[in-house]
Amino acid sequence: MKQSTLCVQAGWEPKNGESRVLPIYQSTTFKYDNTEEMADLFDLKKEGYFYTRLQNPTNDAVARKIAALEGGVGAMLTSSGQAANFYAIFNICEAGDHFVTSNEIYGGTYNLFGVTLKKLGIECTFVNPEASEEEISAAFRPNTKALFGETISNPGCKVLDIEKFARIAHQHGVPLIVDNTFPTPINCRPFEWGADIVTHSTTKYMDGHATQVGGCIVDSGNFDWDAHAEKFPGLCTPDESYHGLTYTKAFGKMAYMTKLTAQLMRDLGSIPSPHNAFLLNLGLETLHLRMPRHCENAQKIAEFLQADERVAWVHYSGLPSDESHALAQKYLPNGSCGVIAFGLKGTRETAVKFMDSLELICIVTHVADARTCVLHPASHTHRQLSDEQLREAGVAPDLIRLSVGIEDVDDLLADIRQALDKI
Binding interface with ligand PLP (CB under 6 A): 80-82, 106, 108-109, 150, 154, 179, 181, 201, 203-204, 213, 215
Residue 213 or 355 with smaller CB distance to ligand PLP: 213
CB of 217 to ligand PLP, least distance (A): 12
Cα 314 to Cα 157: distance, rounded to the nearest angstrom: 10
Instruction: Sheet containing 123-127: give its strands across.
Output: 74-78, 215-219, 197-201, 176-179, 144-150, 98-102, 123-127
Position of minimal CB gap to ligand PLP: 81
Contact assessment for residue 175 and residue 206, using Cβ atoms and an 8 Å cutoff:
no
Contact assessment for residue 232 and residue 145, using Cβ atoms and an 8 Å cutoff:
yes
Residue 88 or 262 with smaller CB distance to ligand PLP: 88
Residue 216 or 236 with smaller CB distance to ligand PLP: 216
Contact assessment for residue 216 and residue 67, using Cβ atoms and an 8 Å cutoff:
no
Pairing type for strands 215-219 and 197-201 reads: antiparallel
Residue 80 or 258 with smaller CB distance to ligand PLP: 80
CB of 311 to ligand PLP, least distance (A): 24
Residue 203 or 276 with smaller CB distance to ligand PLP: 203
Residue 181: closest CA among 208, 140, 150, 213: 150
- Between vectors from CA 106 to CA 101 and to CA 108, what angle results, nearest 5°? 100
CA dihedral 288, 293, 295, 297 (to 10 degrees): -170
CB of 179 to ligand PLP, least distance (A): 5
CB of 180 to ligand PLP, least distance (A): 8
CB of 93 to ligand PLP, least distance (A): 18
Residue 97 or 150 with smaller CB distance to ligand PLP: 150
Which phi and psi (to 5°) does residue 177 adopt? -105, 125
The H-or-E segment that residue 375 falls in is strand 373-375
Question: What residue type is assigned to position 13 of the chain?
Answer: E
Question: What residue type is assigned to position 243 of the chain?
Answer: H
Residue 97 or 179 with smaller CB distance to ligand PLP: 179
CB of 6 to ligand PLP, least distance (A): 22
Task: Give the dihedral sign, CA 269/275/278/280.
Answer: negative
Distance set, CA 332 to CA 71, 114, 160 (Å)? 17, 29, 11
Residue 176 or 236 with smaller CB distance to ligand PLP: 176
Residues forming beta bridges with residue 77, ordered by sequence position: 216
CB of 375 to ligand PLP, least distance (A): 11
CB of 407 to ligand PLP, least distance (A): 21
